[in-house]
Amino acid sequence: MNRHLDSYERYADYGDRVRVRPNPKANRPRSKQRPDYSSAPVGMVIGVDRGRYTVIIDADSGSERTVLCARASELRKTAIVIGDLVRVAGDTSGAAGTLGRIVSVAERTTLLRRSADDTDRIERVMVANATQMLIVVAAANPEPRVGLVDRSLVAAYDAGIRPLICVTKTDIADPSVFLAHFRALDVPVFFSAYNDWPIAQLQKQLAGETTVFIGHSGVGKSTLINALVPDANRATGHVNSVTGRGRHTSSSSVALRLRGEKTKSAWVIDTPGVRSFGLGHVSAASVIAGFADLAEIVAECPRGCDHSATTPDCELNLRAQQGELSDSQRSRLDSLRRLLATADAPDRQ
């Protein structure tokens, strides 16, 4: 005991000469009071490239400018995608060599997502705030695939986005048999042939909207966009004669402005060609919500009903047996069941 006391007394003799270790980072504690960015200008993300974001501020006005931005450190775990509405601080002049900073992301009205495959529950955010999805398929070369369109429709209904279909290369083959699968869904369809693009019809449909283009590589999606937006300069490719698949030409998503004569400018979002569309994040309820008239009937189904044609207590089957479904509803029921099966089936497209 005395030995310990002696040691204490010896160290106590140093008094004020004991050196206190300084803050190793040589900075002050972080304040809890954060800057107020409520007056920072709002813009839309129209391009994403290796950690840099192209944001257009005050679009369609005399003060419109395009600002290159980085993200604020507090947003490093937040996905920022094409179509996002963001607040930008710092240098927002858009002058060459300047860099703004994205400090917040507004709540999204819609969110188009996909997963790597159907077993992957981690969603990949593709596009934010889109109002329409144009599913581009070719009548031939490459052959149209019902599976990809079904999957795209499921993703659109899940996101609350209005689906459209455009069939290209109709000068090569008749797509009527293929389109019969979707007739009951009441999805607008546009037809395109070599040097005969449905520009006027599409411009009317796209006016004032934000439309994301989805399709396999080689179906003519980028060619169609170049026809709609002459200064887009999107790279186009060809279809491999052996595999029947197109070569990826669009490597990243980008928003392009489609100017209207009397209406507000529209935005066209080109995405890389897809080979698969995982739906691991989509629930059956999201698919059913896209069929408003049938959803009212589904609401009366017993809990746990899978809505298949072999489920005896399914309200949809009971109504069909009693002749209470119209011809249109019967066709839509077939489409609903196909899409429900698609959402649950492995991604083979």
Ordered mean pLDDT values, 10 residues apiece, the chain (349 residues): 53 56 63 82 95 94 95 92 97 96 96 68 81 96 87 86 96 93 88 91 94 91 89 58 42 82 78 69 80 88 91 93 88 85 56
pTM > 0.75: yes or no? yes
Find the helix or strand (DSSP H, E) in which 258 lies: strand 254-258
Find the helix or strand (DSSP H, E) in which 151 lies: helix 146-159
307-319 pLDDT, tens digit per residue, is: 999 998 999 999 9
224-266 pLDDT, tens digit per residue, is: 998 899 887 665 544 444 334 444 444 578 999 998 665 567 9
DSSP state of 144: P
CB distance 82 to 127 below 8 Å = yes
User: What pLDDT score was predicted for residue 241?
Assistant: 41
* Nearest alpha carbon to residue 212 among 276, 280, 148, 126: 126
User: What pLDDT score was predicted for residue 240?
Assistant: 42
Q: What whole-number distance in Å separates Cα of residue 217 and Cα of residue 237?
A: 8
Q: Which residues have C-beta within 8 Å of that of residue 66, sequence separation ≥ 6? A: 46, 54, 55, 56, 57, 94
User: What pLDDT score was predicted for residue 164?
Assistant: 97
Dihedrals phi, psi of 257, to nearest 5 degrees: -90, 130
Dihedrals phi, psi of 162, to nearest 5 degrees: -75, 120
